[in-house]
């Protein structure tokens, strides 16, 4: 797409219009996006010294200052996290604009000699990310500012002479110009591979900066208008979507809830296992392996207690427990995976989720907070996200703790006595939906228990039995990944 680019050809439609007029039209569309609760992402990538700053300035100049943010993703602080992390952090809320000076593509474009395997993985990950954003009705615009070798050299020279802006020229700019052809090959390849139908690239002739801005603005106007109309229609259609039945071959109802452990055995084992778990956590830390552990289970299933026993001897500087309750307003205004993606740990650290992203297909499904179209496509989205974690070397463990309806009743009764603050009317109401929760859990297991990220379904009818099982599973899984890791060294 870049190599055969004809710098003489220009999209004339918008070049005749005044920049300010285009800017004001974008301001007008921004108001509609705000009204319609549609987030907009504008990514401005391109050659170094191709004038990204100027173009971004021209994009935001007429916008409502309260509803946009500009982010610079220059590749710093990416290392310890998932490749897409900084981008997730900067995603716009509903009705807002995020403009990126360089996007997460920067890392891919930047690395001329990137290992093929990593590059392939990254391409899959951006595809995945852009797809879920697209499906969530985010408007996504990708621009690449294209210039030829001569123009880049001229721009660099001019910038270096500018007493206020000379610092904008880095060694990398010069290195890129010297190796222009190699970079051209590489960019062309990446752009080609990431030119997805749902998130196509716009190659912009940046030979003339003012014209570049006009073209970018013009494309924004056109694309946002088109997408807004599409989104309106899609939302209507999706609201009427009816999810088909999911064929099950596993039923939580069949789980043997009679498993138990004697007080004596528990007392003998627990401390030993906790110390082993602590040692494993230290090893994961020294081996730089990040860990994500998700706990699901009906109210009073014993998630909190199991977590407390799991971490008891661990170094509290190494883990973080994320209690997941109803989303905050900010969380509601973002993709449902946003609050999880932004809390996955860096290398060597552990994040424990007391309830998790599975809320989408459990409580949100049962209570109708997500419509059928939304929760039914979540299975695949979650599987992809978990696949990414595993492929990036994360240790991922998912626990579902199960109790009977009778056991829940007696735990609620006990709580009402001892810790009345821990039990609400809502807890009692949820019991009435026991069957719906069971159905959604069975569907969840069927759809998301993958080879890479299987569910551990554990009877918690005897709390102590469950705690021991959780510890054993963690120790086992940590042992496996550590062994694997050493083999690969």
Which of 72, 74, 126 minimizes the C-alpha distance to 98?
Answer: 72
187 alpha carbon, distance to own chain's centre: 25
The interaxial angle of helices 434-448 and 372-391, nearest 10 deg, is: 40
56 versus 199: smaller Cβ distance to its own copies:
56
Least gap, CB of 56 to its own copies (angstroms): 5
Least gap, CB of 350 to its own copies (angstroms): 12
Which of 350, 373, 296 minimizes the C-alpha distance to 478?
Answer: 350
H or E element in which residue 369 lies: none
Q: Who contacts 262 (Cβ-Cβ below 8 Å, separation ≥6)?
A: none
Tokens of 174: 């010069």
Least gap, CB of 289 to its own copies (angstroms): 14
Phi, psi (rounded to 5 degrees) for 427: -60, -45
7 versus 172: smaller Cβ distance to its own copies:
172
56 versus 402: smaller Cβ distance to its own copies:
56
Q: Is 486 exposed, middle or buried (0-12, 13-18, 19+ CB in 10 A)?
A: exposed
Buried b (16+ CB within 10 A) or exposed e, 409-439: eebbeebeeeeeeebeeebeebeeeeeebbb
What's the CA gap between 6 and 108, in Å, rounded?
24
Phi, psi (rounded to 5 degrees) for 398: -120, 125
287 versus 380: smaller Cβ distance to its own copies:
287
Q: In 10 A of CB 481, how many CB atoms?
A: 22
Least gap, CB of 355 to its own copies (angstroms): 10
Least gap, CB of 281 to its own copies (angstroms): 9
31 versus 120: smaller Cβ distance to its own copies:
31
27 versus 196: smaller Cβ distance to its own copies:
27
Least gap, CB of 298 to its own copies (angstroms): 17
Least gap, CB of 68 to its own copies (angstroms): 8
Which of 226, 234, 171, 191 minimizes the C-alpha distance to 29?
Answer: 226
Residues that bind its own copies (CB under 8 A): 31, 35, 53, 56-57, 60-61, 64-66, 69-70, 72, 99, 101, 164-165, 167, 278-279, 282-283, 285-286, 304, 307-308, 311-317, 320-321, 323, 328-330, 354, 421
1 versus 321: smaller Cβ distance to its own copies:
321
What's the CA gap between 53 and 67, in Å, rounded?
19
Least gap, CB of 229 to its own copies (angstroms): 21
Least gap, CB of 343 to its own copies (angstroms): 12
274 versus 376: smaller Cβ distance to its own copies:
274
Alpha helices in 328-452 (DSSP H): 329-332, 338-341, 363-366, 372-391, 405-418, 425-431, 434-448
Phi, psi (rounded to 5 degrees) for 314: -75, 155
316 versus 368: smaller Cβ distance to its own copies:
316
Least gap, CB of 327 to its own copies (angstroms): 11
Strand, coil or helix: what is 400?
A: strand
56 versus 292: smaller Cβ distance to its own copies:
56
């Amino acid at each position: 797409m870049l190599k055969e680019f004809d710098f003489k050809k220009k999209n004339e439609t918008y070049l005749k219009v005044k920049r300010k007029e285009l800017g004001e039209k974008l301001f007008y569309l921004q108001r509609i996006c705000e009204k319609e609760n549609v987030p907009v992402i504008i990514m401005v990538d391109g050659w170094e010294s191709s004038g990204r700053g100027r173009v971004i300035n021209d994009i935001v100049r007429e916008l409502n200052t309260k509803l946009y943010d500009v982010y610079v993703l220059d590749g710093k602080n990416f290392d310890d996290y998932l490749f897409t992390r900084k981008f997730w952090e900067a995603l716009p809320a509903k009705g807002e604009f995020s403009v990126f000076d360089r996007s997460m593509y920067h890392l891919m474009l930047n690395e001329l000699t990137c290992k093929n395997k990593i590059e392939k993985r990254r391409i899959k990950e951006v595809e995945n990310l852009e797809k879920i954003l697209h499906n969530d009705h985010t408007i996504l615009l990708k621009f690449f500012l294209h210039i030829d070798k001569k123009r880049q050299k001229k721009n660099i020279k001019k910038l270096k002479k500018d007493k206020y802006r000379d610092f904008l020229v880095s060694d990398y700019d010069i290195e890129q110009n010297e190796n222009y052809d190699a970079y051209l090959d590489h960019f062309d390849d990446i752009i080609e591979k990431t030119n997805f139908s749902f998130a196509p690239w716009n190659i912009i002739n940046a030979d003339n900066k003012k014209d570049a801005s006009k073209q970018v603005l013009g494309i924004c106007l056109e694309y946002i208008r088109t997408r807004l109309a599409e989104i309106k229609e899609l939302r209507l259609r999706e609201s009427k979507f009816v999810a088909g039945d999911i064929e099950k071959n596993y039923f939580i109802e069949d789980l043997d809830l009679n498993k138990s452990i004697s007080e004596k055995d528990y007392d003998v084992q627990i401390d030993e296992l906790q110390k082993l778990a602590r040692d494993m956590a230290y090893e994961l830390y020294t081996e730089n392996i990040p860990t994500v552990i998700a706990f699901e289970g009906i109210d009073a299933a014993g998630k909190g207690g199991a977590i407390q026993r799991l971490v008891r001897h661990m170094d509290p500087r190494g883990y973080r427990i994320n209690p997941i309750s109803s989303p905050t307003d900010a969380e509601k205004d973002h993709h449902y995976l946003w609050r999880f993606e932004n809390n996955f740990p860096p290398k060597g650290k552990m994040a424990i989720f007391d309830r998790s992203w599975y809320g989408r297909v459990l409580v949100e499904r049962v209570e109708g907070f997500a419509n059928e179209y939304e929760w039914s496509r979540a299975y695949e989205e979650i599987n992809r996200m978990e696949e990414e974690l595993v492929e990036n070397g994360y240790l991922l463990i998912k626990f579902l703790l199960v109790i009977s309806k009778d056991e829940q009743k007696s735990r609620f009764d006990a709580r009402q006595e001892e810790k009345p603050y821990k039990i609400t009317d809502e807890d009692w109401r949820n019991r009435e939906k026991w069957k719906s929760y069971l159905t959604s859990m069975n569907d969840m297991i069927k759809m998301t228990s993958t080879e890479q990220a299987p569910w551990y379904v554990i009877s918690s009818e005897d709390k102590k039995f469950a705690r021991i099982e959780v510890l054993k599973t963690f120790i086992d899984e940590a042992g496996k990944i550590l062994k694997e890791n050493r083999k690969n060294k």
